[in-house]
Amino acid sequence: MSAPNEAIEQMIDIEWWGHGSDARAGAWRSLRDDAPVTFSPEAEIPGFPAGPGFWSITRMADVMAVSRQPDLFCSGLGTNIPDLPIEIAEFFGSMINMDDPKHTRLRRIVNRSFTPRMVSRIDEDVRRKARSIVARVAPKGSCDVVTEIAAPLPLEIICEMMGIPHEQWQRVFELTNVILGDINSTPDIGVLMAAAVEMAELARAVGEDRLAAPQDDLVSAMMHAEVDGEALQPMEMASFFILLAAAGNETTRNAITHGLRLLTQHPEQRAIWIADTEAISPTAVEEIVRYATPVIHFRRTATADTSIGDVEIAEGDKVVMWYESANRDERTFSEPDAFDVTRAPNEHVGFGAGGPHFCLGANLARREIRVMFEELFRWIPDIAVTGEPTWLRSPFIHGITALPAEFTPAEVPDSALAES
């Protein structure tokens, strides 16, 4: 069996997705070199009908080309590999699973809500919450990186930003784990829908409350924003919250977790970053996102007969952009398997590959990752991973569910918490 064929066979084995991206790097390389656009069968997933297969796109240039031609490669028929009814796809993915004009309408309404004052307030919240998280952990001397450091920050920011009552935050964390969890731990679509409906109901209630009694917060701004006379409906806000909580929470959580693991594996890179934190932080954050690629793929569907490279693609064919492969493409990156916190330029696709669906929360994610590492470096700079990660088995999220770490215990003084 040739190397590309072996790689395709591996892709439909769920166990292949439970060992981290470094274990898959060789397979992606063989596909980029010898079969950059190749047809793949779909894995059997409990609760989903068997799919017709899809085209795997593995080179950076091709991923960019597909992403930036939304009229030819649409999102409205689904952005994950399994097919779902359109209404369910939009419910789970909000604007990610929409094409124009619906996509532009919803994105413009949401964008209008993020005023400079609101963005400034969120930025301040990131610093305050990151320092508070570190303060809770610092005296202990050891922790689980995922549950005690990486997960709380994006979860708390999104829940507070969207007005979710504090007593429901842990439940939101549990529900996002169901929606984006281990592919074999979710037995059927009913479990996914139940989790999504519960999350939506939380957000819908907040949206209706802010319509009736506006407050000085983001949800009120969203519910009362209008574009060309159209406003956001409560269920649209609920669907948008599912997108934020699942995509924003999971991707930032995993970027922070992977980042600490990478810095432990590459102490010389940690030293470079700590030596000049302010200057290195922007490139270090981009390198963590490139190297880790928390979102492994997104799918499009061809709207007409076309071609990618010299491969003919038929109307209706699924096309899957493998970001994990593109971010290690030797045609784009020098020494792509090296982790380099000073890498520049770094035109990765960790937040998508451009076009209308570029990640709406990219700048918030960047700030959360940067601020969390700045606070770790300030208060527990010797924090290091001490064991192997527990990997999520998923072809969609490059996730770690548990990761032990140790450090010299420290105290974050109340005065520092007040400053943040």
The string of pLDDT tens digits covering residues 41-57 is 998 776 667 789 999 99
Q: How does pLDDT run across 211-257, given as a tens digit for each residue?
A: 999 998 888 888 888 878 888 888 888 888 888 877 777 889 999 99
Question: Is 263 in contact with 273 (CB distance < 8 Å)?
Answer: yes
- Inform me whether the pLDDT recorded for 283 exceeds 60: yes
Question: Is 86 in contact with 342 (CB distance < 8 Å)?
Answer: no
In terms of Cα–Cα distance, which of 188, 187, 184, 161 is closest to 172? 161
Report the pLDDT value the prediction gives residue 186, as an integer from 0 to 100.
44
Q: How does pLDDT run across 18-32, given as a tens digit for each residue?
A: 999 999 999 999 999
Report the pLDDT value the prediction gives residue 188, as an integer from 0 to 100.
60
Question: Is 241 in contact with 228 (CB distance < 8 Å)?
Answer: no
Report the pLDDT value the prediction gives residue 189, as an integer from 0 to 100.
67
Task: For residues 102 and 175, give the distance between their C-alpha atoms in angstroms, rounded to a whole number.
Answer: 27
Lowest mean per-residue pLDDT among 84-88, 259-263, 308-312, 373-377: 84-88
Q: What is the DSSP letter of 49?
A: P
In terms of Cα–Cα distance, which of 183, 295, 176 is closest to 243? 176
In terms of Cα–Cα distance, which of 212, 193, 204, 200 is closest to 233? 204
Q: Which pTM value belongs to this model?
A: 0.93
Q: How does pLDDT run across 380-393, given as a tens digit for each residue?
A: 999 999 999 999 99
Report the pLDDT value the prediction gives residue 229, as an integer from 0 to 100.
85
- Inform me whether the pLDDT recorded for 100 exceeds 80: yes
- Inform me whether the pLDDT recorded for 118 exceeds 70: yes
Domains of the chain, first to last: 3-419 (1.10.630.10)
Task: For residues 294 and 308, give the distance between their C-alpha atoms in angstroms, rounded to a whole number.
Answer: 25
- Inform me whether the pLDDT recorded for 1 exceeds 70: no
Q: Which residues contact 4 (CB under 8 A, 6 or more apart)?
A: 30, 31, 34, 35, 38
| Token pair for 265 | 């594996």
Residue 193 or 309, more confident: 309
Q: Where are the beta strands (DSSP E) in 314-407?
A: 318-322, 384-385, 390-391, 400-402, 404-406
Average pLDDT taken over every residue of the chain: 91
| Token pair for 190 | 């009913």
